Amino acid sequence: MTWFLGFVFLYFISSANACDRCVYQSKASHLYDSPTTYGGACGYGNVALQFSNGFFAAAVPSLYRQGVGCGACYQVRCKNRRLCNTIGTKVVLTDQNNDNVTDLVLSKRAFFTMALNGKGADLLNLGVVDVEYKSGAIYDTGVQINDIAKESCPPWQCGDKPWK
C-alpha cells in the first residue's frame, strides 16, 4: 500500500511540474494603438514599456490570476504558416484581458514580430489569429515592480527553451 501511495504522489507531482512545458491552443489579438502612456491592471505604468521593451500582453483572468500572473513571460507563436514565422514572440504579462474571444491581447510590436518578413501588415489586418503559447520564465517575486526591475528578465531572455 505504501508503494502505491508513493506512486500516486509522484504521479501528481510530475503532472504539476509539467504545466510549465504545456503548450496551450488559443487565439490572440493586438492593441490597435501603441499607448504613449500605459496604465495596465498590474500597475506598472510606463515602466512596463521599458522593462518589456514594448513586448507586453494582457491575459484572461485564468492567466492574470488577480495580479499574481503579473510579470510572467509567455512565448506565443501564430499558427498561420502563410503569414507567421516559426519563432513567434515573447511577452511580459502587464494587464488583464476580459475578452472571451482571445486568451492574449499582444502589444502591436509583439504581434507584428510573429509575422514572416514582409507579412506584418497582413497579419495585423487579420486582427485575431490562432496561436499556441506556453509559459516562459516567471519572475520569482510576482507583482513587485522593484523586484522585476532588479531581476531584469526581458521577454527575449524569458524561457529560451525551444519549441517542441
Domains of the chain: 22-157 (2.40.40.10)
- The b-or-e profile of 98-120 (16+ CB within 10 A means b, else e) is eeeebbbbbbbbbbbbbbbeebb
10-61 pLDDT, tens digit each: 444 444 444 556 899 999 999 866 554 566 888 887 777 777 788 999 999 9
Which residue, among 157, 127, 155, has the nearest Cα to 71 in the 3D structure?
Answer: 155
93-144 pLDDT, tens digit each: 999 998 889 999 999 999 999 999 999 999 999 999 999 999 885 444 443 3
| Collapsed DSSP state (helix, strand, coil) of residue 139 | coil
| The model's pTM | 0.71
111-122 pLDDT, tens digit each: 999 999 999 999
Question: Which pairing describes strands 72-78 and 89-96: parallel, antiparallel, or unpaired?
Answer: antiparallel
